[in-house]
Amino acid sequence: MKCSIEEITTLAVRALKRAGASRAMAQATAQALVAAEMEGLTGHGLSRVPLYCQHLREGRADGKAKPKLVKKKGATCLVDANGGLAFLASALAVKEAVKRAQRYGVAFAGVTNSHHFGAAAYHLAPVAQAGLVGLAFTNSPSAINAWGGKKAFFGTNPIAAIFPRHHGGPIVVDLSLTEVVRGKIMIYAREGKSIPLGWAVDKDGNPTTDPKAALTGAAFSFENDSYFEPGNKPRIGHAILALDPGALAGADAYFARLEVMISKMLADEGVRLPGTRRQQAAAKARAEGIDISDALLSELRQLARSKR
């Protein structure tokens, strides 16, 4: 069903508050999830509201937590999310990173004791608005084996980058290489095809060409993603790096060189700038509203209504 941005945001805020989130946390979270939904990133969009509500109810995320700046030294600082959802804490880290990068040329803000980061690039919008280049990092529950190992060890650990332009929206790059592989393995499994050797290992750590062995094995334990299972507070960490081009070759040189690069890229037929599709999807959603499945909408309405 087509919903207006306001309508769906209000619904998400209400659901998160009912589950125990403070007004500020509910608003920051709903805004981030709606933004991802608007950009077409449904995996990090409104489908997360029920899961976050469950985590708030189970105490895996603390709805009353207030993020706090617990350490600062020159161009670096550390924010403690105190076990709350990620968005308030990371907004504080971004604010501090921008302030410090403006002063020192570069800044690094860490966030500790946090929760699911959502779409990594979302957090970086204020960095680009301040005319700074931004990078965002986060860890995530174990999904990938280490070099030569059998067990899920590293997370998919997305990285995002943002590059402001002199006019128009920023260049936005989101990297989550293992997500690509995961998506590809899923397509191969659905089509009953073999995957090339080297893409994945099975549950014994042996290389496999069977996409189903790769999907159920220890190396890519997507179905065991601990966000989706009972568990402790995830204590996820994030980091924001902000960089002032003015401190290096200079802002004028940066903006001019970036436009040279962009024109050169666009001169090659078929090239699209990273972030463009998302920005177009968001503009469309702003004008026309968002399509939400009836099932999700009724779940959100129930969460917004009930006190269960």
Kindly state the helix (H) or strand (E) to which residue 189 belongs, with its residue range: helix 177-190
Q: Are 114 and 80 in contact (CB under 8 A)?
A: no
**Which one-letter DSSP state was computed for residue 227?**
G
Stretch that binds a second copy, among 114-122, 221-229, 243-251, 288-296 (CB under 8 A): 243-251
Interface pattern 150-189 for a second copy (x via CB under 8 A):
xx-x-----------------------x------x-----
247 binds a second copy (CB under 8 A): yes
User: Does the protein bind a second copy through residue 146 (CB under 8 A)?
Assistant: yes
- The 3-state DSSP class for residue 173 equals strand
- How many C-beta atoms lie closer than 10 Å to residue 66's C-beta? 15
Interaction with a second copy in 78-137: which residues (CB under 8 A)? 78, 103-108, 110, 112
Q: What is the Cα–Cα distance from 307 to 285, expressed in whole angstroms?
A: 30
Reference 245, options 92, 130, 148, 140; nearest CA is 130
Give the chain's radius of gyration (CA, Å): 20
Of 87 and 108, which has the nearer Cβ to a second copy?
A: 108
Phi and psi torsions of 44, nearest 5°: -110, 20
Q: How far is the CB of 108 from a second copy (least distance, A)?
A: 4
Q: Please check whether residue 114 is in contact with residue 141, taking contact to mean a CB–CB distance below 8 angstroms.
A: no
What DSSP character marks residue 295? H
Task: Report the C-alpha gap between 17 and 304 in whole angstroms.
Answer: 8
In this structure, what token pair is assigned to residue 217? 């094995």
**Footprint (CB under 8 A) of a second copy, residues 29-58:** none
**CA 104/CA 246 separation, integer angstroms:** 11
CB 51, min distance to a second copy, A: 27
Q: Which is nearer to a second copy, 96 or 299 (CB)?
A: 96
Q: How far is the CB of 53 from a second copy (least distance, A)?
A: 30
- When asked if residue 22 is in the footprint of a second copy (CB under 8 A), the reply is no
Nearer to a second copy, 277 or 301 (CB): 277
State the nearest-atom distance from the C-beta of 2 to a second copy, in Å. Answer: 30
The residue from 27, 145, 208, 221 that contacts a second copy (CB under 8 A) is 145
The length of the chain is: 308
Please identify which residue in the block is written with the tokens 């009836």.
Answer: 294
Binding residue (CB under 8 A) for a second copy from 2, 148, 263, 294: 148
Question: Between 175 and 297, whose beta carbon lies closer to a second copy?
Answer: 175
Q: Is 227 in the site for a second copy (CB under 8 A)?
A: no
Binding residues for a second copy, rule: CB under 8 A, are 71, 73-76, 78, 103-108, 110, 112, 145-151, 153, 177, 184, 195-196, 198, 205, 241, 243-244, 246-249, 264-265, 268-274
